[in-house]
Structure 1
Amino acid sequence: MSKGSFPEIPRRPGALRGAPLAVSLAGVAAAGLAGWLMWDTGGDSGDGAKHPVGAASATKAPAPSAPKPPASPSSPAPGKPSGSPSQKPSPADDGPLPDGPLKGKVVVVDPGHNIRNSQHTAEINRSVDIGTGHKECDTTGTSTDSGYAEAAFSLDVAHRLRTILRAQGAQVTFTHDGDRPYGPCVTERAEIGNKARADAAVSIHADGSAVGNRGFHVILPAAVRGGRADTGPIVGPSKELGARIAGKFVQATGSAPSNYIGDKTALDERGDLGGLNLSTVPKVFIECGNMRDPQDAALLTDGAWRQKAAQGIANGITDFLRG
């Protein structure tokens, strides 16, 4: 798919949150995403947003013990991430918020997994209540064949995203910043967004599926109700947030929607993820690509591409918040 071929979604009048979806997602899919093949696959079955592994899918990657040192930016080794393994916050990330179009808005950014999770298997494997059932506290995530961890990728993109959003005046809250021994659990990740009364929340991931499965997809909360879970109030605005992020991600990165999840729409609805089930604010997950596919891995390990990914996510959030 060429850059910019995902059709623009008309802006909404009126309130920013809780408004009905202003455009038919089916129309978006038919107009902008036709022609992409769908494959039946899987990945990590934890709340890292992956689907159960199918017979034709790759198994979950071994948990990395620590991110590998970056290759020299001038001549990165094949399959190694270019640029720093975790983008350092800019000075603006710690300073006062500038005036901008997102002034007064709160965005919660959830970097998927934690690079130290593999050192705390008992803690992350303990069961937590997600309202409609029980799942692991957290999972280790996946990695590329060369050992670039999903947790390192997600934190790097999160730092880049924070810098972009703060420059527009948004208050950005992280669920963690690589400073915890493990986790946080999926229940706490949701609670951080709820307590912040976020106007939008995004969880950043990369998939761990079979070779040949390529592209990105955005996971939306299904309508679920049970225990502490009641996504009814957020299903509509979350779909709108997800659709806008998907469209802007295509434009910024040139990446194709997933050819194996989402039925050619780049959107996938899930009711088994605690991070979505327990959210009371508009929230989505984005799987930026498949780390187990060599072509997608070449993008995910490239610092310049990760900057484009962060920009696409930021553009979608901005579009949603500005209505």
Structure 2
Amino acid sequence: MSQKQPTFSVIIPNYNNGATLGRAIESVLAQTYPAKEIILIDDGSSDDSAVVAATFGNRIRYVRQQNAGVSAARNYGARLASAEWLTFLDADDVYLPERLAAHARWIAREPDVDFLFADQEYQRPDGKLLRRAIDSSASGRSLLAQHPDRTEIPITQADFEQFIADGFAEIRTLSVPRATFLKLGGFPFDHRIGEDLYFFIRLCAVSRKGGVINVPLAIYYIYPESVLRKDPLGAQRAYVATLESLAAELRTAPHGLRRGWRAKVRHGRLSLAYMYLRMGCKSEALAAVTPLLLRNPSFESLRDVVSIIRGMP
């Protein structure tokens, strides 16, 4: 019996990335397994993005919206999409040639898989490799240890806890059914930092199984002028707020998923507290970790608070 071949809509949100937009689009057009469509959502750009997009003619679908943020752009693209599966690519990053093919082979064989990820490379703009996603995370290293010779690594609900605790939500390598994405409401409009992990946690809550390709399928370029690097303290505060906004929704989630979420919140608050300490803001540092003890009284949370107190000169 022949296997049904999946279709993919690639959503590219763009805001003033005319300098790199062409490279991103070319990387999708160069796929060994072609996308059904490429949907470029221009989020109110004021640069030459529209001119760059026009050079691709009808090979892409160009849609402009008023500036509303990356989540709104991705969600709009998903609503317009016509393929069964959605993938996403930021306008300053690229897909590697097998990005869609590797997932297509898996989905054709196992059409009920809930989502797929893959390894990715982190590079500087000059092309210098900084690290890879899988072997730089505890959850990734655990998968490699369990499946040392596999390119396709299955994951189940038992693995979701560690993936969430690690924050392993590489949006460039995520493939998700369009129906699932729309049912979940997509990415949050009111959170612009950590919106990818927010969506991944909610995706895990309704999923049974997924998979990871142990081969880099995308490149994430690290730019010094990114929001995370221009205002790391503000970004970390926003990141913690994004995670904590899921508290009510996760009250009835599986225990493992909740443990993973709590671990990520703990790590986020500790990181925020140490950032405050380095700035000499003692009361803010203590305020960042005190909620850990109030919400979940335990030896671990007490130890976290004490560690911050001891770090105060």
TM normalised by structure 1 equals 0.27
Point out which structure has higher relative CO (alpha carbons under 8 A, 6+ apart): 1
Larger strand proportion, structure 1 or 2? Answer: 2
Larger helix proportion, structure 1 or 2? Answer: 2
